[in-house]
Amino acid sequence: MSEVVSKAKELAEKRKVGMRVESGTTKPCLKCRWGTEDPTDPSKGQCIGYRTGMGGIWKRMVHDYYNTTCDKFEEGEVDFRDHV
Amino acid sequence: MATRHKPIEYHGKNIEFPYENPAEEVIDDEYLHEHLAKPTTERTKRLKARCRWKHCAAGEFVDNSVRAGMERMRYWTEGHKASDGNKDVIKRAICLQTFLEKCTVILQEDEKIIGYHAEEPTMVPLYPELSFLATQDYIQNSRYAPQPVEEAKEINEYWKKHSLLSKCMPYFEPYELERMYRWASMEAPAFATGFNSIVPPYETVAEDGLLKRIELAQEQINKAKAELAAPHWNAPERLPLLEKIDLWSAMIMADKAVISWARRHARLCRIVAESFETDPARREELLEMAEISQRIPAEPCQGLWDCMQMKWYVYLMCHAIERYASGFAHKEDKLCWPYYKASVIDKTFQPMTHKDAVELFECERLKCSEHGAGKSRVNREIFPGSNDLFILTIGGLNRDGSDGCNDCTDAILEAARNIRTTEPSIVFRWNPKGRLKTKRLVFECIRDGMGFPSIKNDALNAHQMLYYARFSQNNNGATPEEAHDWANVLCMSPGLVGRRKTQKTRSEGGGSIFPAKILEITLNDGYDWSYSDTQLGPHTGDPRTFDTFEKLWEAFRVQYEYTVSISIRAKDVSRYWEARMLQLPFVSSIDDGCMELGRDACDLSEQPNGWHNPITTVVAANSLVAIKKLIYDEKKYTMDQMLDALYANWEGYEEMRRDFVNAPKWGNDDEYADAIIKKFYEDIIAGEMRKITNYSGGPVMPVGQAVGLYMEVGSRTGPTPDGRYGGEACDDGGISPYMGTDKKGPTAVLKSVSKVDSTTQKANLLNQRLSVPIMRSKHGFKIWLAYMNTWYDLNIDHVQFNCVSNAELLAAQREPEKHQDLIVRVSGFSARFVDISKYGQDTIIARNEQDFGAEDFDFINVSAEELV
């Protein structure tokens, strides 16, 4: 693995800030208002909860949409106006 | 009060800009667009007021009452199961037949054009035979899942073995599917999303009628059977006839089913007229509608109402029932002209006035507005503020080189201007021969802020049809006359229209790749750290070891080539299976080529039309310019330093970011930037893509555009060396400058854009935003016309305009309920502004509003005398 890829992986891990897989969680991204299905495969998802300092939405991919959770879980649906 | 443009000193004269319509001077800037709709009749006013809009945004339907219907998936599956044992093409005809026999038919109050494709007008149909993933997305959504949901799950399970997706998946490694599915560096293949587009050969139905098409298919079967039974059996020559006979038989089944379905509508109209309708005028109208649907599409059209109803039935078949397909591709003024002439001018059939014709076109616009596409989540994300990509084409030249604009063209434009709906968008083919009267109407639509017509260079695109014809595998591509018969297939790419040779599937042309993300992964040896945490492309090395800019350039080339190749491979694998298990018996029956040659519409490609859409090119291009200047030429920073700044999303590197932001940018007639970016478009974006040969035997060319992907991809792309922050939107289209970075006026943009050789690209979208006070002034049309003539002379492919003030956009953000008629151009489509997310709205507001100054007037050749 090249040095730049190692660094990239380290950064990717850092971007997950608190996202974790908990099999059978009752608070999956699927039910979170900041979660939305992956564009192609609905068993995966996208987190739109991360806002940049400038207010932009910088999405993070959720590889297991049914079993991933984080401490910022909020049940509900996001209004399209708060989305991309 | 409206803002009036300040006077401009020009060649010693003081040019004033009073409003063309003085009454507008008292309308507040913030509410201008709410004063512009003027439906032609009370009927269309009512139809608009009760329209069940199906706009999507952020992957959802904006209107909460929209649901997925069950009928299409239920009856299609029933047909599929019942047809077990038949050849695939016959199975497809049986599926269609089953649906058309059993589906609910709908007639709504006030409608003059009828037909819907789901059991209720608030519903959208689903297509599990295309992609069970897309259907699953609906099923797991409690808001609009089809009911009963258990039945939907069972049906979707059935298609896991039989769908296009299941047929195509085995030809890819799991990691390849992962890379494609992410929509980060490339669009997911159509076999996974079910997305498609088509150009139906409406002309055969209008001119022949389906009964004639059935006769033709039967004649072909008879001839083939006679050939089979002829003396001296020859297997290699005659056995292929078996498949053809199957296809012709399927065509007959499909056409008969469509005629019966239309006649069910006729019966419904008659029943309502005779038993329920109390208004005598509407009763008469319903009886006339019954008579039309009894005759059409079985028989040739004779009047304009026939033609409009025929078009809607054929549209539903080709775009919504036999298979989902986006688009509304046809050359509407040419197709409708003989019927407009019969009804409005000669009054020989369905006599009507020009105003009646305008009303019919408004009715069609409202049918499009109410139409609901059961499309996948991503396709509900990437056309925000609209329902689907409805795009029709008008103008240009006729086959004999005469002006293609006529009174029917004007009726189409008047309808668009009067009723103000986002759909359908219009493409106007700009030719110097085009009549001024029609160009004035084009201007009025643009000035009124519709965002359309978007304008394409007529000669350039007709020439392109001839270029593609060279690659025809049966030497039957466009002739010089036929090359004039083109329309945009979707937002930007032209294709032939007519009785044959039209594009039938998106696996021929369509799909996208994302250069901004490709650059990002090039800087990380193919790894995507900022969104998906996966290796998205090949290993092209650590950029810190690239001691020349050329090494970075070549690494990008490798990543780009990889993305293009896998994308086109996926399309052709789709095409292989489309031709074998997703045949289109109805579409085939209305194409003269398919009828003559006995080949399915998915398979036959007489006119190659290969294209793919690079989206976010300008972010990548501006980034390369900044890297070359600051790292390789001036050596102000090292690659290492730049990567650290990007990894920190520029936080703590503000001064460095300012340098990258201030590096030369596209769209300012800057020699340094433009030389690099011209080479980028021609050498890499087009150069690498054109090395590909697709299913049809032709090259694949780039169609630079954006749809709403510039937002979606932006939100999945980390910070970039043009100074962009992670998650920020990318450039809004093709060859358009990045929002807010074109700082030297409208003519500097034209100069930059004209440096790229248009013939190297298939199309390239140019978004411009014009000053409202200038365009609405008494000089607006003269200035715009001069701008357009200059644009044409510079041989630029395309241009489209937003003409709306920031004051109005910001007011709509504050009070959306008061701005339901505010339309904006997003990219290749227009959208209702209040149906877009704030993220998307901000990208429109951030675009530079191009004002005109004395230098611009000089460049576009407007004389001071004309403006006094």
A1-29: average pLDDT: 92
CA distance B327 to B389: 5
Q: How far is B524 from chain A (nearest CA, A)?
A: 6
Chain segment B712-739, per-residue pLDDT in tens: 999 999 999 999 999 999 999 899 999 9
Residue B144 pLDDT exceeds 70: yes
Give residue-wise pLDDT tens across range B767-787: 999 999 999 999 999 999 999
The average pLDDT across A18-35 equals 95
Residue of B144, B169, B524 to mutate, testing the A interface (most A Cβ within 10 Å of its Cβ) = B524
Would the CB atoms of B839 and A52 count as touching at under 8 Å? no
Among B202, B395, B459, smallest CA distance to B308 is for: B202
- B684 CB-side CA count, 13 A: 27
Residue B710: closest CA among B524, B516, B549, B845: B516
Share of chain B above pLDDT 70, in %: 100
- Give backbone dihedrals phi and psi of B84, rounded to 5 degrees, phi first: -50, 135
Rounded Cα distance, B334 and B350, in Å: 19
State the best of A4, A6, A75 to mutate against chain B, taking most chain B CBs within 10 Å. A4
| Nearest by CB: B137 against A37, A52, A63 | A37
Whether A36 and chain B come into contact, CB under 8 Å, resolves to: yes
Per-residue pLDDT of B476-528, as tens digits, reads 999 999 999 999 999 999 999 999 999 999 999 999 999 999 999 999 999 99
B630 secondary structure, DSSP code: I
What the block records as the tokens of B325 is 């397909």
- Chain B CB contacts of A49 under 8 Å are none
Q: What's CA B665's distance to the chain center, in Å?
A: 28
Nearest CA in chain A to B647: A11
Q: What is the ipTM of this complex?
A: 0.96
Q: Kindly state whether A75 is in contact with chain B, defined as any CB-CB distance less than 8 angstroms.
A: no
* Least confident interval from A16-25, A61-70, B250-259, B331-340: A16-25
- Classify residue B685 by its DSSP letter: I
Which stretches of B554-618 are assigned E, i.e. beta strand? Answer: 611-614
By Cβ distance, the residue of A2, A13, A52 closest to B539 is: A2
Q: Which band of pLDDT confidence, cut at 50, 70 and 90, is reported for residue A54? A: low
**What pLDDT was estimated at residue B237?**
96
Pick the closest to residue B628 from B551, B558, B729 (CA basis). Answer: B551
Backbone angles phi, psi at B513, to 5 degrees: -135, 160
Q: Which domains does chain A have, with CATH numbers?
A: 18-82 (4.10.490.20)
**Look-up of token digits 């003989």:** B338
- pLDDT tier for residue B11 given thresholds of 50, 70 and 90: very high
Residues 54-73 of A with CB under 8 A from B: 54, 56-61, 63
- Residue A2: per-residue pLDDT: 86
Domain boundaries, chain B: 509-734+741-765
Say whether B309 sits in a helix, a strand or coil. Answer: helix
Of residues B185, B176, B837, the one with CA closest to residue B530: B185
Amino acid A55: pLDDT:
67
